[in-house]
Amino acid sequence: MKKEIINVSRREFLISSGKVGAGFTIGLYLPGCSEQSGNEIHATSGATKMAPPQEISSTPAKGLKEVNAWVVIQPDDTVIIRIARSEMGQGTLTGLAQLVAEELECDWSKVTTEYPTPGENIKRDNIWRDFMTGGSFGIRGSHSYVRKGGAVARHMLIEAAAEQWGVDMAECSAANSVITHTPSGRTISYGKVADAAAELFPPEHVELKDPKDWKLIGQPVKRLDTDEKLNGKQVYGADLWMEGMLNASIKACPVFGGKLKSFDASKVTSMPGVHKVVAVGDDAVAVVAKTWWQAKTALDKLPISWDKGANAKVSTASIDAMLDEGLTSSKKVFVGNKNGDVNKALKGASKVVEATYRYPYQNHATMEPMNATAIWTKDKCEVWCPTQNGTAALQATAQAAGLPVSQCDVHKLHLGGGFGRRGAIHDFVVQAVAIAKQLPGTPVKLLWSREEDMAHGMYHPITMCKLTGGLNNKGDLTSLRVRISGQSILASINPAWMTNGADMFTFQGMLPEGDHAISYSVPNLLVDHAMRNPPVPPGFWRGVNINQNAIYFESFIDELAHTTDKDPLAFRQALMTKHPKSLAVLNAVAKKAGWGTPTEKGVGRGLAVCKAFASHIAACAEVSVNDKGELKILRIVAATDPGYAVNPQQIEAQVEGSFVFGLSALLYGECTIKDGAVEQSNFHDYPSMKIKEMPKVDVIVMPSGGFWGGVGEPTIAVAAPAVLNAIYAATGKRIRQFPLKDVDLNA
Amino acid sequence: MIKLKINGNVVDIDVDETTPLLWVLRENLGLTGSKYGCGIGSCGACTVHINGEAVRSCLVPVSTLNTSKEIVTIEGLSADTSHPVQQAWKELDVPQCGYCQSGMIMSAAALLKKKPQPSDADIDENVTNICRCGTFNRVRRGIHLAVQKNNKS
Ligand code: FES
Ligand code: FES
CB atoms B95 and A230 under 8 Å:
yes
Say if residue A182 is exposed, middle or buried (CB neighbours under 10 Å; 0-12, 13-18, 19+). Answer: exposed
Q: Which of B100, B127, B136 sits opposite A367 (nearest CB)?
A: B100
Which of B93, B99, B137 most suits a substitution to test ligand 2, by most atoms within 8 Å of the C-beta?
B99
Is pLDDT at A19 greater than 70 in this prediction?
Answer: no
Last residue of a domain, one of B44, B77, B110: B77
For residue A417, give the ligand 2 atom closest to its CA: 2
With 50 as the cut, is the pLDDT of residue A598 above it?
yes
Atom of ligand 2 nearest to the CA of B100: 4
DSSP-H helix ranges across A36-183: 92-104, 118-123, 143-165
Question: Domain containing B23: what range?
Answer: 2-77
Which has the closest alpha carbon to A663: A690, A645, A701, A683? A690
Residues B7 and B68 reside in one and the same domain: yes
Same domain (yes/no): B6, B70? yes
Length of chain A (residues)? 747
- Give the pairing type, strands A463-471 and A351-359: antiparallel
Name which of B13, B32, B101 is nearest A43 (Cβ-Cβ).
B13
* A216 vs B: CB within 8 A: no
Residue ranges in chain B modelled with pLDDT below 50: none
Going from N- to C-terminal start, the domains of chain A cover 4-213, 237-311+370-447, 313-360+462-531, 549-742
A151 CA from centroid of ligand 1 (Å): 46
pLDDT digits (tens, 9 = 90+) for A133-158: 877 777 788 888 899 999 999 999 99
pLDDT digits (tens, 9 = 90+) for A529-574: 999 999 999 999 999 999 999 999 999 999 999 999 999 999 999 9
What pLDDT does residue A51 have?
36
Cross-strand partners of A624: A603, A632
Candidate from A86, A226, A367 with most ligand 2 atoms within 8 A of CB, to mutate: A367
Q: Structurally, how many domains does chain B consist of?
A: 2
| Ligand 1 and B61: CB distance under 6 A | no
| CA angle, B109 then B113 then B116, to 5° | 100
pLDDT, residue B71, reads 98
Q: Which CATH number fits domain A4-213: 1.10.4000.10, 3.90.550.10, 3.40.50.970, 3.30.365.10?
A: 3.30.365.10
Helix axes A580-593, A568-575, angle to 10 degrees: 160
Beta carbon pairs, A and B, within 8 Å: 235
Taking CB atoms and an 8 Å limit, are A293 and B19 in contact across chains? yes
Burial (0-12, 13-18, 19+ Cβ within 10 Å), B49: buried
Quick one: pLDDT at residue B76?
98
The pLDDT of residue A31 is above 50: no
Residues counted in chain B: 153
**A352: number of Cβ within 10 Å:** 14
A488 Cα: distance to centroid of ligand 2 (angstroms): 29
What is the ipTM metric for this complex?
0.98
Residue A704 has a CB neighbour count (10 Å cut-off) of 16
Torsion sign across C-alpha atoms B82, B85, B86, B92:
positive
B89 shares a domain with B63: no
- pLDDT tens for residues A458-503? 999 999 999 999 999 999 999 999 999 999 999 999 999 999 999 9
Report the candidate in A650, A280, A647, A242 with the shortest Cα–Cα distance to residue A413: A242
Is A469 close to ligand 2, i.e. is its CB under 6 Å away? no
Nearest residue of A to residue B85, measured between CA atoms = A230
A174-194 pLDDT, tens digit per residue, is 999 999 999 999 999 999 999
In our burial notation (b when 16+ CB lie closer than 10 A, e otherwise), range A521-539 reads: ebbbbbbbbbbbbbbbbbb
Q: How far is the CA of A373 from the centre of ligand 2 (A)?
A: 22
User: Which residues are within 8 A (CB) of A90 and not within 5 positions of it... i.e. 6 or more apart?
Assistant: A138, A654, A711, A712, B96
Burial A405-416 (b: 16+ CB within 10 A, else e): bebbbbbbbbbb
Residue in chain B nearest A649 by alpha carbon: B93
Same domain, B92 and B115: yes
Say if B59 is an interface residue toward chain A (CB within 8 Å): no
Say yes or no: B26 contacts chain A, CB-CB below 8 A.
yes
Asked if residue A697 lies in contact with residue A652, where contact means CB atoms within 8 angstroms, the answer is no
Which of B132, B138, B140 has the most ligand 2 atoms within 8 A of CB, as the residue to mutate? Answer: B132
Report pLDDT for A65: 87
Question: How much is the mean pLDDT over chain A?
Answer: 91
Q: Give the ligand with the smallest distance to the CA of A417.
A: 2
Is A446 strand, coil or helix? strand
User: Given the CA of residue A683, which atom of ligand 1 is nearest to it?
Assistant: 4
Ordered DSSP codes for A635-674: EEEEEEE-BS-S-HHHHHHHHHHHHHHHHHHHHH--B-EE
A620 secondary structure, DSSP code: E
B68-102 residue pLDDT tens: 999 999 999 999 999 999 999 999 999 999 999 99
Q: Are residues B141 and B92 part of one domain?
A: yes
Domain of B145, CATH number, reads: 1.10.150.120
Phi, psi values for residue A418, rounded to 5°: -130, -65
pLDDT (0 to 100) of residue A42: 34
Q: What is the pLDDT of residues A606-630, one digit of tens each?
A: 999 999 999 999 999 999 999 999 9
User: Looking at domain A313-360+462-531, which CATH architecture does it have?
Assistant: 2-Layer Sandwich (3.30)
In eight-state DSSP terms, residue A517 is: B
B97 in contact with ligand 2, CB cutoff 6 A:
yes
- B142 & B92 share domain: yes
Q: What is the dotted CATH code of the domain comprising A549-742?
A: 3.30.365.10
Judge if A4-213 and A237-311+370-447 fold alike in CATH terms. Answer: yes
Considering the domain architecture, whether residues B65 and B26 belong to the same structural domain is answered as: yes
Which of B47, B62, B77 is at the close of a domain?
Answer: B77
Residues A420-442, mean pLDDT to the nearest whole number: 97
Task: Report the chain A residue with the minimal C-alpha distance to residue B96.
Answer: A89
Give the distance from residue B147's alpha carbon to the nearest chain A alpha carbon, in angstroms.
Answer: 17
Looking at the partner chain, which of B40, B96, B98 has a beta carbon nearest the beta carbon of A653? B96
- Ligand 2 geometric centre to CA of A151 (Å): 34
Q: Does A30 touch chain B (CB under 8 A)?
A: yes
> Do A277 and A266 meet the contact criterion of CB atoms below 8 Å apart?
no
Residue nearest to atom 4 of ligand 2 (CA): B131
Query: Does residue A538 have a cis peptide bond before it, meaning omega lies within 30 degrees of 0?
Result: no
A89 contacts B98? CB cut-off 8 A: yes
Ligand 1 close to Cβ of residue B139 (< 6 A):
no
Cβ-based contacts of B123 with chain A (< 8 Å): 691
pLDDT confidence of residue A50: 39
Query: A237-311+370-447 adopts what CATH topology?
Result: Aldehyde Oxidoreductase; domain 4 (3.30.365)
pLDDT at position A22 over 90: no
Calculate how far, in angstroms, residue A649's C-alpha sits from the geometric centre of ligand 1.
30
Q: Which of B21, B42, B104 to mutate to test the pocket of ligand 1 (most atoms within 8 A of CB)?
A: B42
A305 touches chain B (CB under 8 A): no
- Is A450's Cβ below 8 Å from some Cβ in B? yes
Q: Considering CB atoms only, which of B10, B20, B137 is closest to A656?
A: B137
Identify the band that residue A220 occupies on the pLDDT scale cut at 50, 70 and 90: very high
Burial classification of residue A15, based on how many CB atoms lie within 10 Å of its CB (0-12 exposed, 13-18 middle, 19 or more buried): middle
Report chain A residues whose CB lies below 8 A from the CB of B89.
Answer: 226, 230
DSSP-derived secondary structure letter, A405: G
- Which among B11, B14, B81 has the least Cβ separation from residue A41? B11
Helices (H), B18-152: 21-23, 84-92, 101-114, 120-126, 136-152
pLDDT of A3 above 90: no
What's the sign of the alpha-carbon dihedral B138, B141, B147, B150? negative
Q: Using CB atoms and an 8 Å cut-off, which of residues 64-93 of chain B contact chain A?
A: 73-79, 81, 86, 89-90, 93
Q: How far apart are CA A347 and CA A29, in angstroms?
A: 70
Separation between Cα atoms, residue A345 and residue A471, nearest integer Å: 9
What's the Cα-to-Cα distance from A596 to each of A7, A589, A604, rounded to whole Å?
53, 12, 11
Q: What is the pLDDT of residue A239?
A: 97
Say whether residue A688 is in contact with chain B using an 8 A CB cutoff.
yes
